[in-house]
Amino acid sequence: MPDDRLAGPPADLELAELHTSLEDPALASMTFLNEVTGRYPKALSFAPGRPTEEGFDVEAVHRYLRRFCDHLATDRGQSPEQVRRTLCQYGRTSGIVHELIARQLEVDEGLRTDPESIVVTVGCQEAMYLVLRALRRDERDAVLAVSPTYVGLTGAARLVDMTVLPVASGSTGIDLRDLAAQVRGARERGLRPRACYLVPDFANPSGLSLDLGTRRELLALAEREDILLLEDNPYGMFHDGSGRLPTLKALDTRRRVIHFGSFAKTVLPGARVGYVVADQRVGHGQGRVQGFAEQLSKIKSMVTVNTSPISQAVVGGALLENDFSLERATARSRLVYRRNLAHVLRGLETRFGACGSVSWNTPSGGFFIVVDVPFTVDDELLERSGRSFGVLWTPVSHFYDGKGGRNQMRLSCSSLDSAQVEEGLNRLAKLFVDKGVLGVDTGTDSTPGCSSVSM
């Protein structure tokens, strides 16, 4: 059989006649990074931002489902017929676990929110899509995003043809001076900067977190410049044990913040349940006002109709089982990530500590560390790293929309065990030797400025 990819019948459609997002590196990123992992299944991978599988349990899925059905019967007084309907039938567009999510936000974040302002979505990704779709009216609308930026935000923006304007992260997680300058510069160019996207806790990929003062200043700036803040909070629970800072939404008194949540890291990714808190008021003319959440729900009805109630039930059951505390639900995985993060940081120090040309940041939590290296980090090197050295990681350039991060790699600590971390770093060191950064331990230091490592 001939390979259809290369020969065979002519094309039915031309890429040049399909939506431009399909030619964009942002959309290729996700697919490329997944494919690389698939091509080197035996490689040790610091690449994926996926959670540890230590807590995964098929029986827990069944248990969560039963727990939620019990809740429907006991707490909400549903008859067996109503329980069946809730789980199996079409349902409320904005979701059926919004009230449980509101309780979780109050328990964990001290955030009191009207459940009607919550839209439950197919993962946080759909929430980002809905918000950008709503905010992008025409070609003048732009979204700001702290750079490097989670590629899912950039990709969603591409789908709605919305310009993404990068904002420097600086050392505080967001360079407020740059943000103000970007907003004003955009307005001068005739653009309408609508919102600024950021991950205030243990950002992906930078690992940076905003301190309390920066959070307050950012809220004041958003008010002053009349923009919204899009707060994405997938990693907040994975702190170092010293507690969490309040979310931007918890500090928000002026409805400036749209808050995205995900249960992918705190419960399980397989449910594909996320949400958005959107308590903004939308004016309809003649003094009529509706919630922004209702607008997002209208868009959702034409994207996915509603989030699977079975999936929602799984997440709902997990919330019920943990008395609405994700802090409690994540107690075990938090320790895994803390241990792994410390392990990777220690391992980097051991191997590259004396090598002045290699450096890295030291996040206090989350999944990610960024390593700066004196060579080009691109997709080609990643392929070679997988093929020849059996170790994977993520080129940070994917988070810069192709315009930065060419000397940085992201190491994720979330999905390896201790032995794998150790072996993975050994393999990484071999790659570094190959790139001429480290010398092989032959008894002599072969690379100026760097200590040698034992391979």
**Strand pairing of 163-168 and 141-147?**
parallel
Task: Give yes or no for a cis peptide into 205 (omega within 30° of 0).
Answer: yes
Nearest residue (CB) to a copy of itself, 164 versus 438: 164
SS3 143: strand
CB-neighbour burial class of residue 8 (10 A; exposed 0-12, middle 13-18, buried 19+): exposed
Residue 58 token pair:
């098929």
Find the shortest distance in angstroms from Cβ 48 to a copy of itself: 8
Rule CB under 8 A: say whether 368 interacts with a copy of itself. no
The amino acid that residue 302 corresponds to is M
Binding of a copy of itself by 5 (CB under 8 A) = yes
Q: Which of residues 25-84 bind a copy of itself (CB under 8 A)?
A: 26-28, 30-31, 34, 48, 50-51, 53, 56-58, 61-62, 65, 69, 81, 83-84
Give the integer Cα–Cα distance in Å for 229 and 205.
19
- Select from 76, 284, 346, 387 the one that contacts a copy of itself (CB under 8 A): 284
Of 267, 364, 260, the C-alpha closest to 63 is 267
Which residue is associated with the tokens 């994977």? 392
Which residue, 41 or 443, has its beta carbon nearer to a copy of itself? 41
Q: Rounded distance, CA 121 to CA 125, Å?
A: 8
CB count within 10 Å of CB 337 equals: 26
The answer to whether residue 414 forms part of the interface with a copy of itself (CB under 8 A) is no
The residue range among 157-165, 351-359, 371-379, 431-439 that interacts with a copy of itself, by the rule CB under 8 A, is 157-165
> Closest CB to a copy of itself among 15 and 455?
15
Shortest Cβ 434–a copy of itself spacing (Å): 31
According to the binding rule CB under 8 A, does residue 327 interact with a copy of itself?
A: no
With binding defined as CB under 8 A, does residue 139 bind a copy of itself?
no
Does residue 328 touch a copy of itself according to CB under 8 A? Answer: no
Q: Counting contacts by CB under 8 A, is residue 311 touching a copy of itself?
A: yes
Distance CA 267, CA 272 (A): 10
Distance in Å, CB of 430 to a copy of itself, minimum: 28
Q: Is 282 in the site for a copy of itself (CB under 8 A)?
A: yes
Which lies closer to a copy of itself via its Cβ, residue 184 or residue 281? 281
Among 181, 212, 305, 331, contact with a copy of itself (rule: CB under 8 A): 305
Site for a copy of itself contains 163 (CB under 8 A)? no
Rounded CA gap, 437 and 390, in Å? 18
Stretch in the footprint of a copy of itself (CB under 8 A) among 134-142, 208-216, 405-413, 430-438 = 134-142
Contact 86, 96 (CB under 8 A): yes
Is residue 88 a contact partner of residue 307, using CB atoms and an 8 Å limit? no
